[in-house]
Amino acid sequence: MSPRLDASHTRTATSTPPPEQLDAIEGLIAELPEIPPYDEVDAVDARALSKTLFERLESLEEGTHEYSYVRNTLVELNLALVKFAASRFRSRSEPMEDIIQVGTIGLIKAIDRFELSRGVEFPTFAMPTIIGEIKRFFRDTSWSVRVPRRLQELRLDLAKAGDELAQKLDRSPTVAELAERLGISKDEVVEGMTASNAYTASSLDAQPDEDDSEGALADRIGYEDHGLEGVEYIESLKPLIAELPSRDRRILSLRFVAGLTQSEIGEELGISQMHVSRLLSRTLVQLRKALTLEE
């Protein structure tokens, strides 16, 4: 299920404050600088307005309607940071709306943790938290096969180290080079690479590449071959047939190998079709009983 923001994370609360709280909020709005529509605020103005709002937030009591108003205003004022961070993941299969929702949760966490006294600009402080929240979402929900968190994190480390080494070496790094770069054993690198195969799964109906003549994956998957059961019966019948009289063996060969009719077999052996029928029936019953006893 995709994460959704509850009503407390939006600027317009679903619950109506009592009259005295409404008066307090109106007074607070009068104290704050005028904020234009959020989609018209550029990055410089948003940074300046955010600083003023953070200063005011520090003087308010957490849990009050005034505190929620300023906090939610900060969320909406800085949603551009979330959209910018989410754009880095536009190639993923998850809907962009869900990615933005997850990033907004990261933005809220950054607002709650931010302190003006640190002397750091809010966008600089918030971006790692927003991106980290989005990456955690993909790490925890986007694996086709569930693997331990340790291997999920190892996959990310291997991907990053692999890109860096590939640029440096102008070729794909070896297992030994990856192990040395990350300070882990070769077995751990192999384990991480194996786990990476669980990240995505291809559809059985996916169309092959243009140069692939083997067809879709579903067309190449093995199926139950009922002929294998026949092979088992043939192997079991061989010694039983070898024990039959020569005429019975020849009748079986003419009927089931050469494909002759009973009349044609009779002409071949100089006996009647009725006699061929009796001999064939007797032989088949004998073989069937012998197979049943073996089973």
Q: How confident is the model at residue 106 (pLDDT cuts 50, 70, 90)?
A: very high
Does residue 72 sit within a domain? Answer: yes
Among the candidates 98, 113, 141, a domain finishes at 141
- The residue ranking higher by pLDDT, 227 or 280, is 280
Q: Are 11 and 131 in the same domain? A: yes
My answer on whether 91 and 150 are in the same domain is no
Best CA proximity match to 79, nearest among 109, 51, 103: 103
Residue 110 belongs to some domain of the structure: yes
Among residues 141, 161, 181, the one where a domain terminates is: 141
Same domain, 86 and 136: yes
Q: Is residue 3 within 8 Å of 101, Cβ to Cβ?
A: yes
In a domain, 80, yes or no: yes
* pLDDT greater at residue 123 or residue 37: 123
CA distance linking residue 163 with residue 23, whole number of Å: 57
Q: Are residues 61 and 25 in the same domain?
A: yes
Do residues 285 and 241 share a domain?
yes
pTM beyond 0.95, yes or no: no
Written as one string, the DSSP assignment of 244-292 is S-HHHHHHHHHHHTS---HHHHHHHHTS-HHHHHHHHHHHHHHHHHHHH
Label residue 82 by pLDDT band (50, 70, 90). Answer: very high
Nearest to 41 by CA among 73, 87, 9: 73
Same structural domain, 29 and 51:
yes
Q: Is residue 48 part of a domain?
A: yes
The region that residue 119 occupies, defined by phi over 0 for left and psi between -120 and 50 for alpha, beta otherwise, is left
**Domain CATH code at residue 65:** 1.10.1740.10
More confident residue, 291 or 220: 291
Q: Are 18 and 136 members of one domain?
A: yes
- Report the pLDDT value the prediction gives residue 192, as an integer from 0 to 100: 83
The verdict on residue 209 lying in a domain is no
* Residue for token pair 């005028």: 34
User: Which of 32-41, 78-87, 96-105, 149-158 comes out lowest in average pLDDT?
Assistant: 32-41
**Which one of 141, 158, 176 terminates a domain?**
141
pLDDT digits (tens, 9 = 90+) for 240-256: 888 889 999 899 889 88
Three-class SS state of 222: coil
Instruction: Say which CATH number the domain at 262 has.
Output: 1.10.10.10
Q: Report the mean per-residue pLDDT for the chain.
A: 77
Q: What is the pLDDT of residue 101?
A: 92
In a domain, 29, yes or no: yes
**224 domain residue, yes or no:** no
* Structural domains of the chain, count: 3
Domain housing 54: 7-141
Does 219 reside within a domain? no
Same domain, 162 and 131: no
Residue 255 to residue 112: CA distance in whole angstroms: 88
CA atoms within 13 A on the CB side of 185: 3
Q: Which helix H or strand E contains 161, and what residues bound it? A: helix 149-169
Is there a single domain that holds both residue 195 and residue 154?
yes
Residues 33 and 106 in one domain: yes
Query: Residue 6 — pLDDT band, cuts 50, 70, 90?
Result: very low
Beta strands in the chain (DSSP E): none
Say yes or no: 32 and 125 in one domain.
yes
pLDDT at 124 over 70: yes
The reply to whether 105 and 150 lie within a common domain is: no
Q: Which residues, at least 6 apart from 175, have a Cβ–Cβ distance to it below 8 Å?
A: 186, 189, 190, 193
* pLDDT over 80 (residue 38): no
Pick from 109, 101, 96, 116: nearest CA to 47:
116
In order of 37, 99, 232, the CA distances from 46 in angstroms are: 11, 22, 78
